[in-house]
Amino acid sequence: MSNTHGRVVVDVEQADDIALLADFAALSAIGATPAGGVERQAATPEDGQTRAWLQAWLAGRGFTVAQDRVGNLFGLLELVPGAPYVLAGSHLDSQPRGGRFDGAYGVLAAAHAAERLRRHYAAVHDRPRYNIAVVDWFNEEGSRFKPSMMGSGVFTGALPLEQALATTDVGGVTVGEALDAMGARGEADVFGENARRAVAAYAEIHIEQGRELEKAGIGIGLVDSTWAANKYELSVLGSQAHTGATAMADRRDALYGAALVVVAVRELADRFGLDLHTSCGQLTVYPNSPVVVAREVHMHLDLRSPSDELLAEADELLRVRLAEIEVQADVTINRTYAHTWRGQVYQPEGVELARSVATDLGLASVEVRTRAGHDSTNMKDRVPTVMLFVPSVDGISHAESEFTHDEDLCRGTQVLTETLARILQGAFD
């Protein structure tokens, strides 16, 4: 890594911060919910409006806008003809009744950072070594279509394109159909056949979605590793019956079985303490009539831990408990892996680069571990990656009350800008 320590490449002015916050307010108005959040699930009309807003923003500043075959949206800025790109971004899609910061802040910060770099290089004689591109990864949230981090998964080869396009939402609409309806399915890989060679590095900034930075009173988190996750899809199968007439002894109540699973999963977390997070979600009850004992419950289950070993131990206990529940509720439980990743480190050179940037800007920073998945979780497996966090008030996320202070948004964007400037100048070479 070349030594760029001490030299700040891009000066940020107050007008830049004002522009960032104004754009964030405009973006947050799309799909806005009454309590300050947004609802823009992947490939819904609101996601489409948000993408159109970004496309207009990028095109209006001279970026070339392109979409790939899984709906990842790019804004390319060629500063050095033929050179590889440094990519920066996050995701514009949200959870249902989600927060307005999760993902959207990272895309906007990347767009502003790239625009600052465009202006910088228009004003100086120096040429960078790389081009820069902004990305809105398709369907990071994994709420409407599973799995999460879909667009970056396809981009990095972790998820086959055909599998992603064939994935359906609960109404049976495929990703391919939803992308077409939104006009978001591109015809080719944006970086050509050699996408992975044409992209030299990746950077992402995100809200922490936790309390560590706030507790420490530090504005910049340097993500050095990620928790492991095991996500499952479960079908609990019973028999449909009359809620009044059927004798209790004759019932095979899928909802009762599912309820036992929900409790078991919570008790698992209680048993392991801070190092295991568990949850059940998106329960679909069939036939969901007030007068029918459910024949089936389809549900998602999520186990996460900083330790692969602990996760494996919890997983084994869950397997045993699910077998007991099958007997207790007289149901069958079919379980498939929906998505899994191991606890992994981010490249130390990325952490060091971001740390020196923060230091040179006079900002305190600290290493943090991400519990949530991010598109950078995929990208770091392919190219040198920097992942930055800014504080989340009270650690709230995936909720309308998610909040990050303006100063933190601005500071984070400044660190991202400078980090990208140094990567463009060869900090990872």
Among 31, 84, 103, 142, binds Mn ion (CB under 5 A): 103
Q: Which stretch binds Mn ion (CB under 5 A): 42-50, 94-102, 111-119, 255-263?
A: 94-102
Please report where in the chains the tokens 């001279």 appear, as a residue.
Answer: 62
Minimum Å distance from CB 372 to ligand GLV? Answer: 4
Residue 289 CB contacts under 8 Å (≥ 6 apart), including other chains:
none
Answer for which of 16, 17, 93, 102 binds Mn ion (CB under 5 A) is 102
The answer to whether 275 touches 305, Cβ cutoff 8 Å, is yes
Residues 184 and 45: their CA atoms lie apart, in Å, by: 11
Shortest Cβ distance from residue 151 to ligand GLV (Å)?
A: 12
Work out what residue 103 binds among ligand GLV, Mn ion, none; the CB cut-off runs from 5 to 8 Å by kind.
Mn ion
Identify what 296 binds: ligand GLV, Mn ion, none; CB under 5 to 8 Å per kind.
none
Instruction: Indicate whether 153 belongs to the interface with Mn ion (CB under 5 A).
Output: no
Nearest approach in angstroms of CB 304 to ligand GLV is 8
Residue showing the smallest CB distance to Mn ion in the complex: 103
DSSP 296-320: EEEEEEEEEES-HHHHHHHHHHHHH
By a kind-dependent CB cut-off of 5 to 8 A, residue 73 interacts, out of Mn ion, ligand GLV, none, with: none
- Give all strands of the β-sheet with 228-237 in edge-to-edge order: 277-286, 296-305, 228-237, 332-341
Q: Cβ–Cβ contacts within 10 Å for residue 29, how many?
A: 13
Residue 102 binding target from ligand GLV, Mn ion, none, CB below 5 to 8 Å by type:
Mn ion
Give whichever of 68 and 141 is closer to ligand GLV, judged by the CB atom.
141
Residue with nearest beta carbon to ligand GLV: 373
Between 102 and 115, whose beta carbon lies closer to Mn ion? 102
x/- site string to ligand GLV, residues 338 to 377, per CB under 6 A? ----------------------------------xx----
Closest CB to ligand GLV among residues 112, 339: 339
Give me Rg for the CA atoms of the chain: 23
Q: Which of 148, 385, 414, 425 binds ligand GLV (CB under 6 A)?
A: 148
Of residues 370 through 409, those in contact with ligand GLV by CB under 6 A are 372-373
Q: To which residue do tokens 């303006």 refer?
A: 406
Does residue 90 interact with ligand GLV by CB under 6 A?
Answer: no
Please tell me the distance from the alpha carbon of residue 25 to that of residue 118, in angstroms, as a whole number: 23
Spatial separation of the C-alpha atoms in residues 368 and 348, rounded to whole Å: 13
In order of 156, 228, 341, the CA distances from 385 in angstroms are 13, 18, 17
CB of 275 to Mn ion, least distance (A): 21
The distance of closest approach from Cβ of residue 374 to Mn ion in the complex, given in angstroms and rounded to an integer, is 6
Tell me the two tokens of residue 211.
């309390």
**In angstroms, rounded to a whole number, what is the distance separating the alpha carbons of residues 77 and 64?**
7
Q: From CA 204, how far away is CA 87, in angstroms rounded? A: 9
Tell me how far, at minimum, the Cβ of 359 lies from Mn ion, in Å.
27
What is the torsional sign of CA 243, 248, 250, 253?
positive
- Contact set with ligand GLV (CB under 6 A): 142, 148, 372-373
